[in-house]
Structure 1
Amino acid sequence: MGKLILSGELFKHIAASLQRALLGFSLGLAVSIPLGLLIGWFRGFERFIDPLLQTFRQTSAMALFPVFILLFGIGEISKLAIIFWSVQWPILLSTISGVKNVDPLLIKAARSMGASPLTLFHKVVLPASLPSIFTGIRLSATYSILILIAAEMMGAKSGLGYLIFDSEIRFEIGEMYAAIVTMSLVGLAINYTLVALEKRFTAWKA
């Protein structure tokens, strides 16, 4: 690990992996949170779309990787697509659950004070759903790193997954373990960053 740090190679691979993971993760957030809020708020829409969601979420991301390669090639887009597919389901399901499990007394109290549907959603439902949403976000962040490592082992020229696979091929076992440890440390850093953000946005819980 010291050799990789001094040469700067380790930081190059970390930057490549983080860039892919953050892009795929951000796309998943941008789609899953609004969709989850919509599905959780409108029960009729949930009954209509739930069978399709349950079917899609049972499909393994790694099983779809050959399909993404067929559609998008072996470059960056296929890797972003597989990360996006993996991360969206925990966020989506946690968001739906968070909206559906808001305390009914809070909603009744807000309505009794004349809150409009938009105010009710913005001031009551969304804040009360945040703890559940953040649980999904933390799970998805973990999935984004795990799936990325697997994706980088196939058809990548940079990233921690590539470094692990390339080190194994070259029998550089020390480099391989350095990459594995680095991957774990990156995952820990992301997790604790999200925990800090959750505490900040849900300070009202205390």
Structure 2
Amino acid sequence: MTAPHVALFHVRTHRPRAAAGYQSLLDTLNDAAVAAVEGLGWTASLHAAAEDPELELRRASHDADVVVILDGDDIDPGLYGQPDRRPRRSPYERRADRLQIAVIMDAVGAGRPLLGLGRGHQLLNVALGGSLRQHVPGHRGPGTEPFIAIPLDLSPVAPGLRGSALCAHHQAVDELGEGLVALTRADDGVIEAIAHESLPLLGVQWHPEHPLTASSQLGVLLRAVHAGELVA
């Protein structure tokens, strides 16, 4: 039997020098995600939605057994009908928004397993008609080490999922998209995981792909999505 192939979609490979630290952080997460896929004995490919040709991105999505939308930049609030209300504004990656949403909707139409991480979790909600809270305090650390562990019940998300939930986000799911349900929430009510009622679609706001948890958490989530073993 051929090993499942996972196509992972991130935002970009290159950024201005001022954003080099942010790119390095994302590269670390993305590399750990690829390593976790390969640790299952599966194959992986990484695709930059802001840079790669659209046809190549769509083909990679179509040919994958599992699609993963990785973390990255804030999502353009115009996609869910709101103006920019962030206290600190950073540029949007509108091409990546558009093409990653196209990948999500292709997965929806085909019933293809899809996992969204961080930004990917939020994009899954937006793609299905939901909205975001544009600024949420208390879910990221200061400075160059933004990841903080929050108390979170992981058992409703996937069978056998355990460990710490490492968060580093300032936005969150608000109104749920069509067919989506909330699986678990932080103590302050922030939605930290969503799934579709009938399709193999899962989103988690925390970072199971962090190098400290990728081997123990991301593999569990990928197996659950691939097998359709979701609580929702």
Q: Which has a greater percent of helix?
A: 1
Normalised by the size of structure 1, how large is the TM-score? 0.28
Q: Which has a greater percent of strand?
A: 2
Normalised by the size of structure 2, how large is the TM-score? 0.26
Between structure 1 and structure 2, the one with the greater Rg is 1
Structure with larger RCO (C-alpha < 8 A, sep 6+): 1
